[in-house]
Amino acid sequence: MAKDYSKIVLNPNEIPMWFGGFETAVETALAAGAVPPISFLGIGMSGWVFCDQSNMAFKVARVHDNAPGIRQYAYRLIEDEADFLTTARQLPEKIRKHIVRIHEWKSDLGVIKKACVWGKTGAWSDASHLHDLHMEIAEAMDPLGWGPPEFKEDSYILDSNNVWVLVDAGFVNRFGKRLADYAEDVVQGRFKTLIPLGYSEASDLAFAVKMDGLDKRIPEDQAYRLFLELKDLEDRLMKEDVARLSKSLA
């Protein structure tokens, strides 16, 4: 018998069931500590978002989604967002207050636990002001080795204190030393994650390192070494994928 979620989720009628994976996303949020009943806030390319009775938001990576290829990609986006939000806590208060506060990254579940921000969602009419704020955040995060998130007006909420808060920091990119350190962890096997990197991700990382080497943001010799090691990793991962596929078809 299917589980009744009507007493667990306050607004089940607002959930787009055609996405698939709703039940697992709810159960994952609860496993991450969400206090029911919870409210469904939205779903994007990378994850489901819920708010609980303690006013905590839970962004759950779509790792159990049935859509082909979404699992690996979604988890990495959420993982990068968690790292970005954690780094943002180092910023001065005048900028930090505009970025949602992360409380915990639950890597074993693929869940970001962060403050739930209620208020007016940014719209096209707010675009000019929000774009200026977005550039301020980008400028502040640049010395910390992060590029800005994708800009969307509805990634911002005007809270009860009349402060615009960035609540969705998706599609961020590391560069410079932060990127090099991340790549070193990957090639040295120190990068521990719920969902291992795929060969396409190794390829993308190799390209990013190469470009940062050309731009002198990573020492040229280090960038060249990391590029070659990442291409070797890409080759190994691709062969493993082919072997798994061949075995499944045998």
Residues 161 and 86 in one domain: yes
The verdict on residue 4 lying in a domain is no
Residues 153 and 211 in one domain: no
**pTM value?**
0.93
How many domains is the chain partitioned into structurally?
Answer: 2
Which of 166, 198, 231 is the last residue in one of the domains?
A: 166
For range 46-68, the mean pLDDT: 87
Residues 50 and 81 in one domain: yes
The verdict on residue 97 lying in a domain is yes
Give the pLDDT band (50/70/90) at residue 217. very high
pLDDT at 69: 61
- Please write the tens of the pLDDT for every residue from 144-168: 999 999 999 999 999 999 999 999 9
pLDDT at 1: 37
Residues 113 and 44 in one domain: yes
Helix axes 127-141, 70-88, angle to 10 degrees: 80
Range of the domain at 27: 12-166
Residues 148 and 211 in one domain: no
Which of 166, 185, 204 is the last residue in one of the domains?
A: 166
Q: Give percent of the chain with pLDDT exceeding 70.
A: 97
pLDDT at 2: 62
The verdict on residue 227 lying in a domain is yes
pLDDT at 245: 83
The verdict on residue 212 lying in a domain is yes
Q: Buried (b) or exposed (e) across 72-85, using 16+ Cβ within 10 A? A: ebbbbbbbbbbbbb
The verdict on residue 183 lying in a domain is yes
Which of 125, 142, 166 is the last residue in one of the domains?
A: 166
Distance CA 46, CA 17 (A): 16
The verdict on residue 249 lying in a domain is no
Residues 45 and 127 in one domain: yes
Residues 38 and 113 in one domain: yes
The verdict on residue 60 lying in a domain is yes
Residues 17 and 133 in one domain: yes
The verdict on residue 5 lying in a domain is no
CB 75 within 8 A of CB 47: no
Q: Buried (b) or exposed (e) across 202-211, using 16+ Cβ within 10 A? A: bbebbebbbe
Residues 80 and 194 in one domain: no
Residues 142 and 19 in one domain: yes
For range 106-133, the mean pLDDT: 97
Residues 124 and 87 in one domain: yes
Residues 149 and 221 in one domain: no
